[in-house]
Amino acid sequence: MANTKPGKNKLEDKVAIVTGGASGIGETTALSFVENGARAVVIADIQDEKGQKLAESIGKDRSTFIHCDVTDENQVQSLVESTLQLYGKLDIMFCNAGICSLGKQTVLDFDPDLYEKLFAVNVRGAALTLKYAARAMVEGGVKGSIICTASIAANFGGDIYTDYSMSKCAVLGLVKSASVQLGPHGIRANSISPGAVATPMMSNAWGMSLEQVEKAFESTSALKGVLKVKHVANAVLFLACEDSEFINGHNLIVAIITGGASGIGEATARLFAEQGGALMVVIADIQDELGQQVATSIGANKCSYRHCDVTEEEQVKSVVEWTVQNFGQLDIMFSNAGVVSTSTQTILDLDLSAFDRLYAVNARGAAACVKHAALAMVEGRVRGSIVCAASVVATMAGSKWTDYVMSKHAVLGLVKSASRQLGVHGIRVNCVSPYGVATPLALAAYGRRVEEMEDMYAANMSLEGVVLKARHVADAVLFLASSDSDLVTGHDLVVDGGFRIKGKTKMSTNNKKLAGKVAIITGGASGIGEATARLFAEQGGALMVVIADIQDELGQQVATSIGASKCSYRHCDVTDEEQVKSLVDWTVQNFGQLDIMFSNAGIFSSSEQTVLNLDLTACDRLFAVNVRGMATCVKHAALAMVEGRVRGSIVCTASVAASTASTRRTDYYMSKHSVLGLVKSASRQLGAHGIRVNCVSPYVVATPMALAVSGKSMEEVENIYAANMSLEGVALKAR
Cβ neighbour number for residue 486 with a 10 Å cutoff: 19
Q: What are phi and psi of 570, to 5 degrees?
A: -135, 135
Structural element, H or E, at residue 24: helix 24-35
Q: Which residues pair with residue 607 across a beta bridge?
A: none
Q: Rg of the chain's alpha carbons, rounded to an integer? A: 27
List of long-range contacts for 406-412, beta carbons under 8 Å, 24+ apart: 406/355, 406/359, 407/338, 407/358, 407/359, 407/362, 407/363, 408/362, 408/433, 410/359, 410/362, 410/363, 410/366, 411/362, 411/363, 411/366, 412/492
Catalytic residue among 132, 404, 435, 669: 404
404 included as an active-site residue: yes
Length of the chain: 735
Cα–Cα distance list, 137 to 84, 132, 140, 175 (Å) = 10, 9, 5, 16
Bridge partner list, 16? 41, 92
β-strands 492-495, 544-549: how paired? unpaired
How far are the Cα atoms of 248, 273, 286 from residue 265, in angstroms, in the given order?
21, 12, 13
Q: Which residues contact 281 (CB under 8 A, 6 or more apart)?
A: 255, 257, 260, 269, 272, 273, 298, 302, 303, 304
Amino acid making up residue 437: V
Q: Among 446, 397, 419, 466, which residue's Cα sits nearest to residue 183? A: 466
Phi then psi for 208, rounded to 5 degrees? -130, 160
Residue 288: how many CA atoms within 13 Å on its side-chain side? 3
| DSSP three-state, residue 615 | coil
Distance CA 618, CA 622 (A): 6
Distance CA(4)–CA(25), nearest Å, equals 18
Contact 431, 490 (CB under 8 A): no
* CB neighbour burial string for 672-694, b if at least 16 within 10 angstroms, e if fewer: bbbbbbbbbbbbbbbeeeebebe
672: nearest Cα among 574, 597, 575, 604: 604
Please give the angle made by the CA atoms of 13, 16 and 22, to the nearest 5 degrees.
Answer: 135
Q: Tally Cβ neighbours within 10 Å of residue 342.
A: 16
Q: Which residues are catalytic?
A: 404
